[in-house]
Amino acid sequence: MRSLILGIGSDILWVERLRRSLRRFGPGYLEEVFSFEELEASPPFGDAAEFYARAFCAKEACAKALGTGIADDVDWYDIQVIQRPGTTLLVLHEGALRHLLSMVPNGSDFTIHVDIGSRKGLAFAFVVIEIL
């Protein structure tokens, strides 16, 4: 069976930029971008700014792979990032899911590949949406 790449997106962010925003705006800054479930999943140890910078990049990269960016139809909350040791998952909701389903041919399946990381003060993400 053949597959088709539907979209590709990437993003990179200086972790310090997110850290400064957290100092300036406090927890409300994160609440604008992340769902309650994502905020509850913050790391039990390590650098929270790095954790959220990776997730922010994953949301941006996914929105780029969808071809929409973050806009009226695709909101920050529509892309959920689940970071677990060794794996990251993206779960689409509402506008993001509706947009993706409108792009996928009837009867086709899709998968979303995501790779995130952080190193030397940078967070990054790469997303590929594949039709199976």
Annotated binding site for Mg(2+): 11, 60
d(C-alpha 109, C-alpha 94), whole Å: 18
Binding positions: 11, 60
d(C-alpha 75, C-alpha 66), whole Å: 12
Burial level of 132, CB count in 10 A (0-12/13-18/19+)? exposed
Residue pair 42/34 in contact (Cβ under 8 Å)? The answer is: no
d(C-alpha 30, C-alpha 69), whole Å: 19
Q: How many Cβ atoms sit within 10 Å of the Cβ of residue 51?
A: 20
